[in-house]
Structure 1
Amino acid sequence: MNNQRPAQAEPVMDISPDSRQLMVNKIMDKLKRHVPVSRPVELHELRKVAERFENKIYSASRWQLEYIRKLSLKMLELETKSFNAAINSLPSTPAARSRESLRSRL
């Protein structure tokens, strides 16, 4: 009887360059919603930020699922921070206090 444990699976990162570019484009879409850009040079800089961010996540991931999970969580975090900042910038009115009460219950 063989009591040896199976060997660990090698990391599998089979993500095509096209898929990675698609992810960079999705990151760009998110960033453009939160970072105002009006000039082509600013858009180019924003793309470089998105590419570096995607590459950092890609390099730190061992499996495709880990890559997707990390990117999804970071993009959700960006949305959440942006939403909270917008809520906190609202004037303090009865409606705003009601929204704050609702948020604290969630």
Structure 2
Amino acid sequence: MAEIPSVAWIISAGAEAPQSAKEMITMATDISSPVKDKNYNLIWAIEASLSNVWKLETYVQDAREQGDEELADWFRKIQENNRTAGQQGKEMLLQRLQ
């Protein structure tokens, strides 16, 4: 896990020190898109959804191997939701690129 730079490091790097705790939290948690483009955001969401489908397959298998069918079924439902979102996203992207 990456460390959040200390205020002293930020100041030494030439950035202004935050004026309040709220500003520090905003600096540490602001993960806005580097690209302000709706198609970029759509592509990111498609990739995230389809990547989750792939990852969740491992979680389903792990739960089954450990005898937890309830958890395996729950992971499978999430996987199906991600698969549906990925498919919808691909269709939306196709419409926007034509």
Query: After TM superposition, is the score higher than 0.5?
Result: no
Q: What TM-score does the superposition give when structure 1 sets the normalisation length?
A: 0.30
Q: What TM-score does the superposition give when structure 2 sets the normalisation length?
A: 0.32
